[in-house]
Amino acid sequence: MAQLTALLLSLLTLLLSTPPGVISTTFTIVNKCDYTVWPGILSSAGVAALSTTGFALQKDESKTITAPTSWGGRFWGRTLCSQDSTGSNFSCVTGDCGTGKMECSGRTAMPPATLAEFTLDGYGGMDFFDVSLVDGYNIPMLVVPQGGTGQNCTSIGCVSDLNESCPSELKVMSTDGGDSVACKSACEAFNQPQYCCSGAYGTPDTCKPSTYSQVFKTACPHAYSYAYDDKTSTFTCASADYTITFCPTPSTR
């Protein structure tokens, strides 16, 4: 009886010491494109990697991944990927992470790439999330919170095909010289401080929207268009799971 009482007390103590609320978050990644997408995942510095950092999604396929409380990181889609006949030397025309493999293993996307970024707080706080075009654009993306609460808990993303409207000096063309497959940021294209928000332009007061970032903002008003585009581009939610959809309006390439 004494042992049973001690066990019950231990269980009660554990329950009382465990904070209520979300202990994990699920990300469901969906491919609605008319072509294969290879999602990449990078955890923030000091945060453990998720169960996978890269995989393939055929058209209409989805994959659900669980992240622990306080996880932070980014998701993106890689396109036009291939590997050699031995199954090695994996590479992608857009969004490649440079590992030579399907797993990104701690490497981020090479610009240009559309990014979905998250900082999860879990118990006692809010999740912060955004879709960023600061590193350019390669694929339409929509982030939808599921079951969350908060005044700013809403669907966001960039569902327009910016590859069509991309200024010619920012376009990345396919290897066969056909269609545009991505749209560079002005920072990547020109490497000038006023576009990169660096040097004398390294503060919100000195770095302002450019004609190029305004092209992105007009097409995708709820996505980051340049580094200090916080006021209309960062969103918060509590106790949510998230669905990340590539090409929410189906498109072909």
Cβ atoms of 56 and 36 within 8 Å: the answer is: yes
Q: How far apart are CA 57 and CA 31, in angstroms?
A: 6
* pTM (global) more than 0.75: yes
Tell me, what's the pLDDT at 86? 75
Tell me, what's the pLDDT at 205? 95
Which domains are seen in the chain, by residue range? 23-159+223-246 (2.60.110.10)
Cα three-residue angle 169-134-144, rounded to 5 degrees = 120
Tell me, what's the pLDDT at 14? 35
Per-residue pLDDT of the chain (253 residues; tens, 9 = 90+): 444 444 434 433 333 333 444 478 999 999 999 999 999 999 999 999 999 999 999 999 999 999 988 899 999 999 999 988 776 799 999 999 999 999 999 999 999 999 999 999 754 589 999 999 999 999 999 999 999 998 899 999 999 999 999 999 999 998 776 789 999 999 999 999 999 999 999 999 999 999 999 999 999 999 999 999 988 899 999 989 999 999 998 554 4
The three-state (H, E, C) secondary structure of 94-120, written as one string = ECCCCCCCCCCCCCCCCCCCCEEEEEC
Taking 3-state DSSP, the helix, strand and coil percentages for the chain, each rounded to the nearest 5, stand at: 15, 30, 50
Buried b / exposed e across 147-159, counting CB within 10 Å, b at 16+? ebeeeebeebbbb
Tell me, what's the pLDDT at 47? 92
Is the preceding omega at residue 193 within 30 degrees of 0, hence cis?
no
